[in-house]
Amino acid sequence: MFDHMLSILIFFPALAGMLGFIVSKESIRAYGITVSAIEFVLSLVLWYGYDPSVAGMQFMEQFALVPAFGINYLLGVDGISLFIIILASFFTLIGIASLTETRRVKDMIITLLFLQMTMVGVFAALDAILFYVFWELSLVPMLYIIGAWGGPLRIYASIKFFLYTFTGSLIMLVGMLFMAYFYFQATGQWSFSILEWYRLVLPENLQLWLFVAFFIGFAIKVPMFPFHTWLPYAHGQAPTIGSVILAAILLKMGTYAFVRFSLPLFPDASVFFMVPVAVLAIIMIIYTAMVAYAQEDIKQVVAYSSISHMGVIILGTFAMNVEGISGSVFLMIGHGVVSGALFLLVGVIYDRRHTKLMSEFGGLAQVMPRYATIFGIMVMASVGLPLTINFVGEFLSLLGFYSQSHMMTLLAGTAIIVGAIYMLSAYKKAFFGDVTKEENKTLKDVNKKELVALIPLVILAVWLGVYPKPVLTPINNSVESIVQLMHEKAITPEAKAAIPNPAETKIAMASVTEVEVDVEREAE
Amino acid sequence: MLEAVNVSFGELNLATLAPMLIAIMGALSILVVDLAKSGLHKSLYVMVSLLFLLLDFGSLVDFAGIFTENGTMFGFFNVMLMDGISILSQLIIVGVSMLFIPLALTSKRFHEYDYPEYFSLFLFMIAGFQFMVATDNLILVFVGLETASLALYTMIALHNRSKSFEAAVKYFTMGALAAGFYAFGAMIFYAISGSVEIHTIAEVMAADGFSNIGYASIGSVFMLAALGFKVSLVPFHTWTPDVYEGSSAALAGYMSIVPKIAGFVVVMRLFEFMVHSEVVWLQVILYGGVVVTMTAANIWALVQNDVKRMLAYSSISHAGFVLAAILIGTTQANTALFLYWVLFSFTNLGAFTMLWVNRQKHLLPGQSSDHPYEKFAGMIKIMPFAAILMGLFMLSLAGIPPFGLFWGKLYMISSAVTSGYTVLALIMALNSAIAGYYYLKLIIFMFMKEPVIHGVHEYYMMNASLSLKTIIGIAAFATIFAVVTVNPLIEFIATLVYNSGY
């Protein structure tokens, strides 16, 4: 049954979405929950069937789509993509389950199911064109979600979101076509398979150009510093469910693509651009953290803090060693859980008060104790408190980058302190002090439906913070093979030196994880 | 003293005339039927036209089979030329015509379809286009072009609204000018080479090392202007939006596809050899023309208030995109041209048919044109299925994968990449992003705005009949599942194009 597991995972929600047109309006929510629960179970089955000791691709599927042009339907997962796929199905389930009263709820749920198809497709595709198909297709449902259910500026926000990403990915497409052409020149065969591209060693000047072309596409999606302006609009206008999916999964497409495409395809260019990218990432971390501090709107605080943490992911990715990349992949999961949860929490209070301004709140901890507790745990997770999920990822990312540059790591580290400041001060403004507004005195605490969505996230955030091993080991294995590949492919001496050979450094890594486990035991 | 010419009947190879003759026979038989009994319903004429087109298509499939075995066929004193691109373009012309002619079967009555002459003009026009592509003789190209154009002018005017007359006269005037340019250009080429056959012109010019480059350049400019009118290359495009607006949506959709593919084939025959020679200035002109056509038309399309005018500008932009193939000039590029046009015709068929079914007979108060954006506002709430289909066609036109046009764009940009036109490839890609905006605009109106019209229930889909819905279904099906057809199409087209030497 595992032969077509990934195809089932991709197309089951889409098929269910199409059948959903027939389901009556009253029952559509139950239908959506059922479908996404089945999908989540299927993704757990995928995890069950996944062999963590194997570093390479598993559950591979292939058939030729356009053989004359080398386009294949090629799927597979490794430790890097596996958990993001599970996260995607998990968040779709939580998103649909916690969906509050929505206009045209049927359209919303069908759209979400189509969105899920594209999300799983992006992370499972191993053919560049197939990847591009899902990558672009994911824009359409999100455009609709922001544009149809968003705030007053929703149309502007949705167009900006769409055009920004669309432009970037078209440049990336040209890069992909060049890559395929170079492959054709080298082998006489057209191919868009990433695995076959991995075997191609390009001269450095070509790598630089192609790196830039891919970088534009990915950096807009992440979004990295000068290209980030679409995201605050998108988050500001999107409905809760849109923000949750956007922050938890869609942004990960960009960082995932860096690990999947940029690093292994262009190792020399990656090393060449390591410092500029790291500088951008650090600007992104510090600048957006400061911007977050200046926000009045609690959703914007969460949005900017989410951009800020994406900077740490980029930094870890461009550390070029196993610790850094593993950490950044783990941080993708952690960031997904935490920022998804924070957006859900903001949605909870928005449903009650229909405002997101922090000045309207204050003293909520007295009125809504359970809500304040959960929010508090998630804020702690967001600032990277030890024993929470983000700590593991951030620590490993920064540790990885420390071996490349001490100064820059230090700078990035200070930003985490800034992060703690703005998150905690936002928390203080909203939850502590006296209840100043009359409306806030009668607010209801989180209800059962919201708890069903939030409790699993809390458990996840703590569990993976305390015991990250089941997730970290498969990630680590796959990342090792990618770093190995990069090390072997690198042609310039600088790149060889910057990318350590994991076979030699493995011992060091093992001791690091042990230390961490020790720390956790003490804390327990 | 003149010698008697002895030509055996077999040498004439009259079979090469068969496809056009079938269309002409169809046209004549419709006239005869009308003579015998007038006042018959339009459905009869639609079906008769469809049957003749089917025969026409069948004969072309037959020719394609013969071509792959025996290569190019000549006929009728070497005037007729049945090579790969001629067969291919005729297949597209006839195939698209078969899909467009059922659009006459609207549920509301429209003036022009009451005349049987409309359908016979339609078939004459197809024969004209077929002649135009199935020869490399400049005179026969001219005859074909004029036959088709004159029929088309009349068909536009038959729509019988003031804007239609304006459109027909505008198109006629522009067409006459283009014909003049064409005659001048052909004359100059004849003066240089002493021949009106393109391959002889190419040989003579190559033999004397392009020494007459001054005259040749004047001739090429005339030719480019004349054909530029036909394929609506900027700056010869000014007629396009007005003519599209004046004609019925069905005919406008037809005009965005069929006359252009015929034009492309003539451009390909005439300019390919010059691009491949070392004539740099022609490449510069073509490069400029392609880039300006793509970009300027896109920017004009941004500011349109009427969906049909937007689609008119967008079709200009698509034509510019495709003309890049002539500039690149490799087999892959020419294959991409035909692939793109096949996929484009299905998507555009769908988009224009959606306009056609939503065409109301009388404008509402405050409505300035047939299809303003506001008309589609909130369509998802009134007619969800129609809105989704229209959205699908817009996404395909914007080049969102996996829908039809994406594969054409992919292959075309790849052909630019392969031939070292990096900047051109980037311009093509970025133009798709600009175009994304105005296609998105319609989607935004349909899906994200509130309906502006209440109570006028017959406002949407009032023209829909079973046959129109079938056509939309075919177009949607071909657009969604394009990925399955891409491979066979590429292989088939590449064989035909490559064996014709392009």
SS3 B257: coil
Whether the CB of B451 is below 8 Å from some CB of chain A: the reply is no
| CB < 8 Å to A133, chain B | 401-402, 406
The C-alpha atoms of residue B113 and residue B105 are separated, in whole angstroms, by 9
Question: In a 10 Å sphere around its CB, with 0-12 CB exposed, 13-18 middle and 19+ buried, how is residue A210 labelled?
Answer: buried
Query: Which of A165-169, A490-494, A515-519, B117-121 has the lowest average pLDDT?
Result: A515-519
Contact A317, A482 (CB under 8 A): no
Contact at CB, A181 and B414, closer than 8 angstroms = yes
The C-alpha atoms of residue A214 and residue A196 are separated, in whole angstroms, by 18
Whether the per-residue pLDDT at A520 is higher than 50: the answer is no
Percentage of chain A exceeding pLDDT 90 = 51
Whether the per-residue pLDDT at A8 is higher than 60: the answer is yes
By C-alpha distance, the chain A residue nearest B443 is: A144
CA distances to A73, A287, A289, A300, A342 from A294, in Å: 47, 11, 9, 10, 18
- Return the half-sphere exposure (C-beta side, CA atoms, 13 A cut-off) of residue B314: 31
Strand intervals (E) in B108-247: none
Strand intervals (E) in B193-284: none
Whether the per-residue pLDDT at A510 is higher than 70: the answer is no
Any residues with CB less than 8 A from the CB of B265 and at least 6 apart, and which?
Answer: B85, B86, B89, B132, B133
pLDDT confidence of A523, banded at 50, 70, 90? very low
Whether the CB of A167 is below 8 Å from some CB of chain B: the reply is yes
Whether the CB of B414 is below 8 Å from some CB of chain A: the reply is yes
SS3 A99: coil
SS3 A297: strand
Upstream peptide bond of A223 is cis (omega within 30 degrees of 0): yes
Whether the CB of B430 is below 8 Å from some CB of chain A: the reply is yes
Residue B56 host element (H or E) = helix B42-70
What is the maximal distance between C-alpha atoms in chain A?
Answer: 74
The token pair that represents A498 in the structure block: 């910057």
Contact B267, B227 (CB under 8 A): yes
Residue A60 host element (H or E) = strand A58-66
pLDDT tens sequence across B79-125:
888 889 999 999 999 999 999 999 988 888 888 888 889 999 999 99
The token pair that represents B78 in the structure block: 């070497």
A 180-199 near B (Cβ less than 8 A): 180-181, 184
Radius of gyration for the alpha carbons in chain A, expressed in angstroms and rounded: 22
Nearest-CA neighbor of A476 among A81, A14, A153, A55?
A55
Catalogue the long-range contacts made by A499-502 (C-beta closer than 8 Å, 24 or more residues apart): A499/A267, A499/A271, A499/A320, A499/A321, A500/A320, A500/A321, A500/A322, A500/A403, A502/A321, A502/A322
Residue from B410, B411, B480 whose CB has the most chain A CBs within 10 Å, to mutate: B410
Contact at CB, B447 and A148, closer than 8 angstroms = yes
Residue A77's beta-bridge partner residues? A58
| CB < 8 Å to B494, chain A | 68
pLDDT value at position B361? 72
| CB < 8 Å to B413, chain A | 173-174, 177
Percentage of chain A exceeding pLDDT 70 = 96
Tell which phi-psi region holds residue A384, choosing left (phi > 0), alpha (psi between -120 and 50) or beta.
Answer: left
Minimal Cα–Cα distance from A341 to chain B, Å?
Answer: 27
pLDDT tens sequence across A319-331:
988 999 999 999 9
SS3 B450: coil
Q: What average pLDDT does range A120-131 have in this prediction?
A: 94
Whether the per-residue pLDDT at A364 is higher than 90: the answer is no
Angle at Cα A357 formed by Cα A356 and Cα A363, nearest 5°?
100
Q: Mean pLDDT of all residues in chain B?
A: 89
Whether the CB of B66 is below 8 Å from some CB of chain A: the reply is no
Whether the CB of B376 is below 8 Å from some CB of chain A: the reply is no
Contact A16, A126 (CB under 8 A): no
Minimal Cα–Cα distance from A128 to chain B, Å?
Answer: 12
The token pair that represents A334 in the structure block: 């952690």
The C-alpha atoms of residue A52 and residue A386 are separated, in whole angstroms, by 26
- Return the half-sphere exposure (C-beta side, CA atoms, 13 A cut-off) of residue A352: 21
Among the partner-chain residues B395, B410, B491, the one whose CB lies closest to the CB of A68 is B491
Contact at CB, B410 and A173, closer than 8 angstroms = yes
pLDDT value at position B465? 86
By C-alpha distance, the chain B residue nearest A66 is: B487
The C-alpha atoms of residue A472 and residue A469 are separated, in whole angstroms, by 5
> What is the CB neighbour count within 10 angstroms for residue A387?
17
Residue ranges of alpha helices (H) inside A358-405 are 364-367, 369-383, 389-402
Minimal Cα–Cα distance from B404 to chain A, Å?
Answer: 12
Contact B250, B104 (CB under 8 A): yes
| CB < 8 Å to B447, chain A | 144, 147-148
Nearest-CA neighbor of A305 among A360, A237, A384?
A384
pLDDT value at position A258? 94
Inter-chain contacts counted by CB atoms under 8 A, chains A and B: 89
Minimal Cα–Cα distance from A67 to chain B, Å?
Answer: 7
The C-alpha atoms of residue B60 and residue B399 are separated, in whole angstroms, by 30
Whether the per-residue pLDDT at B501 is higher than 90: the answer is no
Whether the CB of A480 is below 8 Å from some CB of chain B: the reply is no
Nearest-CA neighbor of A180 among A160, A199, A197?
A197
The token pair that represents B493 in the structure block: 């087209």
Contact A253, A337 (CB under 8 A): no
| CB < 8 Å to A171, chain B | 426, 429-430
| CB < 8 Å to A242, chain B | none
pLDDT tens sequence across B442-482:
999 999 888 876 655 556 777 788 889 999 999 999 999 99
Whether the per-residue pLDDT at A515 is higher than 80: the answer is no
pLDDT tens sequence across A215-235:
999 999 988 888 888 998 899
Contact at CB, A143 and B436, closer than 8 angstroms = no
DSSP assignment letter at A355: -
Q: What average pLDDT does range B377-386 have in this prediction?
A: 85
Tell which phi-psi region holds residue B160, choosing left (phi > 0), alpha (psi between -120 and 50) or beta.
Answer: left
The C-alpha atoms of residue B340 and residue B320 are separated, in whole angstroms, by 12
Whether the CB of A212 is below 8 Å from some CB of chain B: the reply is no
Query: How far apart are the two ends of chain B, measured CA to CA in Å?
Result: 42
| CB < 8 Å to A177, chain B | 410, 413-414, 417, 425
Contact at CB, B447 and A66, closer than 8 angstroms = no
Among the partner-chain residues A132, A147, A170, the one whose CB lies closest to the CB of B444 is A147
- Return the half-sphere exposure (C-beta side, CA atoms, 13 A cut-off) of residue A81: 28
Minimal Cα–Cα distance from A145 to chain B, Å?
Answer: 9
Whether the CB of B183 is below 8 Å from some CB of chain A: the reply is no
> What is the CB neighbour count within 10 angstroms for residue A397?
31
Length of chain A: 524
Residue B413 host element (H or E) = helix B404-418
By C-alpha distance, the chain B residue nearest A179 is: B417
Residue type, A123: F
Highest average pLDDT, of A56-60, B69-73, B348-352, B368-372, comes from: B348-352
Contact at CB, B433 and A170, closer than 8 angstroms = yes
Contact A131, A71 (CB under 8 A): no
Residue ranges covered by each domain of chain A? 273-465+476-501
Query: Which of A379-383, A415-419, B319-323, B373-377 has the lowest average pLDDT?
Result: A415-419
DSSP assignment letter at A199: T
Query: How far apart are the two ends of chain A, measured CA to CA in Å?
Result: 41
Percentage of chain B exceeding pLDDT 70 = 95
Residue ranges covered by each domain of chain B? 16-499
Residue A125's beta-bridge partner residues? A75
Strands A71-77 and A58-66: antiparallel
- ipTM (interface pTM): 0.92
Contact at CB, B402 and A137, closer than 8 angstroms = yes
The C-alpha atoms of residue A262 and residue A176 are separated, in whole angstroms, by 11
Radius of gyration for the alpha carbons in chain B, expressed in angstroms and rounded: 22
Whether the CB of B20 is below 8 Å from some CB of chain A: the reply is no
Strands B73-75 and B80-82: antiparallel
pLDDT confidence of B22, banded at 50, 70, 90? very high
Minimal Cα–Cα distance from B208 to chain A, Å?
Answer: 36
Q: Mind giving me the DSSP string for A11-32?
A: HHHHHHHHHHTTS-GGGHHHHH
The token pair that represents B47 in the structure block: 């079906």
Whether the CB of A399 is below 8 Å from some CB of chain B: the reply is no
The C-alpha atoms of residue A66 and residue A78 are separated, in whole angstroms, by 25
Whether the CB of A208 is below 8 Å from some CB of chain B: the reply is no
The token pair that represents B269 in the structure block: 């025959």
Among the partner-chain residues B418, B433, B490, the one whose CB lies closest to the CB of A68 is B490
Minimal Cα–Cα distance from B94 to chain A, Å?
Answer: 26
Contact at CB, A171 and B407, closer than 8 angstroms = no
Query: Positive or negative, the Cα torsion across B327, B328, B331, B335?
Result: negative
Minimal Cα–Cα distance from B448 to chain A, Å?
Answer: 5
SS3 B391: helix
The token pair that represents B80 in the structure block: 């007729």
Contact at CB, B429 and A170, closer than 8 angstroms = yes
Any residues with CB less than 8 A from the CB of A302 and at least 6 apart, and which?
Answer: A235, A247, A339, A342, A343, A346
pLDDT confidence of A522, banded at 50, 70, 90? very low
